Amino acid sequence: MPQKPTGRSRSSSLCTAVLAGLLAVVLAGCGGGGDGGEAAAPQAAGGGGAIPDVTAVLAGVQKDPQLAAMLPPTIAQAGALALGSNLQSAPNNFYAADGTTPVGYEVDLAKAIAAKLGVTVKYQDMAFGSLITSLQSARVDLTMAAMNDTAERQKQIDFVDYFTSGITIMVRKGNPDGITGPDTLCGKTVALVQGTSHQEFATEQSAKCVQSGQAAITITATDSDTQNQNQLRTGRVAAILNDLPSAVYIARTAGDGNFFEVVPGEPINGGPYGIGVNKTNTQLTEAVRGALQSLITDGTYGKILEAWGVQQGAVQQAGTNAGS
């Protein structure tokens, strides 16, 4: 998921609530496991469990003509929002068992926002590191991929904030390396996705290790959550840094919950996820913000998050560029 640490953190009680909520939904509806080769979420979803069905919720979303009128003519004429994402991050956004259908709470939110604006969503799956440049070059209209809204990113794009999360640490089942928090990563090898806030945090934490006289963190950056999971399963890395919703979902579904576990503790550098919009397209930003706020107000937003068990990360207001 995209990102620079925000410097903000959420309370430990909220962390407990997020964990409880996510564990509940996975146990109730997303059971199953990997095939022994990868710990990928699509396998978990197809392993006997059920992806939450929010068809009726989405069908109830009514077009808002006033908001729809704010769409740029090119989008209105196309009848679809071109949305860039990195579809490998359950429960945020990933592929269903068929390998082609995008699913996740972000996918459902995107559909609801589009419906409110009277259009549909056309996904473009790409590397996380390509999302901002694709937005700047107008290859896509929006990005939505669990990307943290940060002050640094705000120099490049604008954000409509829709969720709050933070970084967490995932280890092998049984925690054989005894990792209990960021300070115990010193001297360990850690995997993460290239270009994310996880990478920046790991670099900063490694410097702290060295400053305190301990060994640096060896950072392995890839373009794939699945690759990182395979490295952790085989012991090539001691831990993975990931966002809390994804880490808990993976830990509970991969290998029927026998591959990984999440290190308990408060999320690191908690902050908002944002829908990315080109800075020159202020009208689209306001249309998306208005659509999201309408969904929050009428309860659609909450129903979608609750279906996926991530309601503890809900925002109360659809803001813009609220990250720091």
In a domain, 5, yes or no: no
Q: Lowest-confidence range among 43-57, 87-101, 142-156, 255-269? A: 43-57
Model confidence band, residue 2 (pLDDT cutoffs 50, 70, 90): very low
Q: Is 160 helix (H, G, I), strand (E, B) or coil?
A: strand
Query: Rounded distance, CA 1 to CA 295, Å?
Result: 24
Claim to verify: residue 178 and residue 204 sit in the same structural domain = yes
Whether residue 122 is contained in a domain is answered as: yes
Q: Is 5 helix (H, G, I), strand (E, B) or coil?
A: coil
- pLDDT of the residue at 50: 57
Question: Does residue 56 or residue 252 have the better pLDDT?
Answer: 56
The C-alpha atoms of residue 161 and residue 323 are separated, in whole angstroms, by 8
pLDDT digits (tens, 9 = 90+) for 40-63: 333 333 333 458 899 999 999 999
Per-residue tokens: 77: 């004429």
Euclidean distance between CA atoms 185 and 192, whole angstroms: 13
Secondary structure class of 126 (helix, strand, coil): coil
Range of the domain at 67: 12-166+272-320
Distance CA 124, CA 132 (A): 13
On whether both 28 and 134 belong to a single domain, the answer is yes
The answer on 195 and 51 residing in a single domain is no
Please state the rounded mean pLDDT for residues 228-243: 96
- Let me know whether 182 and 205 are in one domain: yes
- Kindly state the average pLDDT of the residues 119-145: 97
Instruction: With beta carbons less than 8 A apart as the criterion, state whether 159 and 318 touch.
Output: no
Strand 80-85 vs strand 319-320: parallel, antiparallel, or unpaired?
unpaired
Nearest CA to 116 out of 318, 297, 290 is that of 290
| Per-residue pLDDT tens digits for 82-94 | 999 999 888 999 9
User: Is 85 within the bounds of a domain?
Assistant: yes
Is residue 263 assigned to a domain? yes
Say if 313 falls within a structural domain. yes
196 with 309, same domain?
A: no
Q: Across residues 288-316, what is the average pLDDT?
A: 92
The more confident residue out of 20 and 65 is 65
User: Which of 248, 170, 168, 176 shows the shortest CA–CA distance to 201?
Assistant: 168
Average pLDDT, the chain: 85
Decide if pLDDT at 29 tops 80.
Answer: no
Torsion sign (Cα): 248, 251, 254, 255: negative
Residue 3 resides in a domain: no
> How many other C-beta atoms can be found within 10 angstroms of the C-beta atom of residue 202?
24
DSSP letter string, 168-216: EEEEETT-TT---SGGGGTT-EEEEETTBHHHHHHHHHHHHHHHTTSPP
User: Are residues 257 and 216 located together in one domain of the fold?
Assistant: yes
Residue 6 in any domain: the answer is no
Pair (282, 204) in one structural domain: no
Check residue 227 and give its pLDDT: 94
What total of structural domains would you count in the chain?
2
pLDDT for 8: 32
The answer to whether residue 4 sits within a structural domain is no
- CATH code assigned at 128: 3.40.190.10
Instruction: Indicate whether 59 and 199 sit together in one domain.
Output: no
Burial of 267 (0-12, 13-18, 19+ CB in 10 A): buried
Shared domain for 97 and 204, answered yes or no, is no
Could you give the count of Cα atoms lying within 13 Å of 89 in the half-sphere of its Cβ? 29
DSSP structural state of residue 263? P
Q: Backbone phi, then psi, for 69, in 5-degree steps?
A: -70, -15
Do 139 and 77 reside in the same domain of the chain?
yes
Cis peptide before 91 (omega within 30 of 0): yes
Please tell me whether residues 137 and 219 are part of one structural domain: no
Q: Are residues 138 and 54 in the same domain?
A: yes
Read off the pLDDT of each residue in 273-297 and give the average, rounded to a whole number.
97
